[in-house]
Structure 1
């Protein structure tokens, strides 16, 4: 495969990850697997979404590489099922599709990248570098996040604190706060929040606003900032 040589620091990090690769075409799976096997720490390759789910539950991979056009259950449906349970796993998809409906679904699933076939070695390494960077960012947030003005959040314990005092959050408030922390400096639309936090339960904009107000009352007003007509953003600047 055609490839641009990556830097040694990235290759070292890549060598520590577990990747689950799903592709139903044997020739493509063999070629890509041979390439990936030279770079990632552990590789599991399967040919169906059903087998992929079994291996996902068994190995808890760091990165998923999914073909969209799988038999029985397609790659995006598989990604959606996994994303409901796991917001941290990085997902890369390969596809021949670039239509609007696909792109919208890709955004909603927080894909690290989608690759248009035929996929080159350089395409794969660029996508994997982005995935590794995202993993590092998530891991850096797992233990302690400074939210500014004396507030901090410990994700592993799911605790919000003001100085050393525990601040009680309801479940949805906690899920919202965690989602904003994981996407700091990103504008999050009402539609994205609806999909990621409430899934199939319809929530009006007013209901989402009420949850944001609750978080602000328990912290401070500018912890989450309005983006008019779109949604909200949690800025890194707020912690300074």
Structure 2
């Protein structure tokens, strides 16, 4: 098993993309280089990276649009934007869409690497606190358990992954198609029926707390309310 840290790089300038990729790979990163936003989203869904480096101006899907779609599924994976833009509003927009850092071109590779390590270190500290409160439940994704006042239920890996996404998007709509692609790998009809079954199982396991609901938002997805 590879111990390298996975990074998705989305940059449409071939020369710059190659420099970044080679520089990161010499520092024990595994880099998946994409030339547009659509490729980057596919790579994100498949590879489950630990960090994303996104150029803002890209063909097919720009970095801001890509980040917005990713944040519907994943609130925590760090995102660094790369841009030639210098307007303050562009920086503000990037952070509001879920970006964690912003580098203006041209930049040094050492600066990018320092910022990557800083973000990964911060995320690791957050991961050390594995217990998540949801109503009167305590959810531990690593152990795949739900603890309700000492009554412990064990979850399957897929149940735990689905519940984690619901919690990350608590009180917001979790997009059906995006979650199917992330957990099931495809948003076809049969996977959709499978997801419905898992939602029913989670509802049952969360039923001990009447203040928790998973509601169906027609034609969009699901919403965890607590």
Describe the SS at the equivalent of 1:71: coil
Structure richer in strand, relative to its length? 2
Residue number in structure 2 paired with 1:215: none
Give the corresponding residue for 1:80. 68
Superposed displacement of residue 159, structure 1? 4.1
| TM-score (normalizing by structure 1) | 0.57
**Aligned equivalent of 1:59:** 47
1:68 and 1:74 in contact (8 A); partners too: yes
Q: Which runs of 5+ in 1 are unaligned?
A: 1-14, 167-173, 180-192, 201-217, 219-240
- Do 1:66 and 1:94's aligned partners in 2 also have CA atoms closer than 8 Å? yes
1:18 and 1:40 in contact (8 A); partners too? no
Correspondence for 1:133: 121
Separation of aligned partners in 2, 1:70 and 1:197:
32
1:80/1:35 CA distance change after superposition, 3 Å: same
Distance apart, 1:133 and its partner CA: 1.3
What is the CA–CA distance in structure 2 between the aligned matches of 1:153 and 1:165, rounded to whole Å?
A: 10
Provide the residue aligned with 2:7 in structure 1: 19
Conservation of the 8 A alpha-carbon contact between 1:19 and 1:40: no
**How far, CA to CA, are the matches of 1:146 and 1:131 in structure 2?**
24
Deviations 1:86-131 (CA, angstroms, capped at 9, x unpaired): 1121111111224343233222233221111112122111211122
TM-score under structure 2 normalisation?
A: 0.60
- TM-align CA RMSD: 3.3
Provide the C-alpha distance between the structure 1 equivalents of 2:50 and 2:30, rounded to a whole number of angstroms: 10
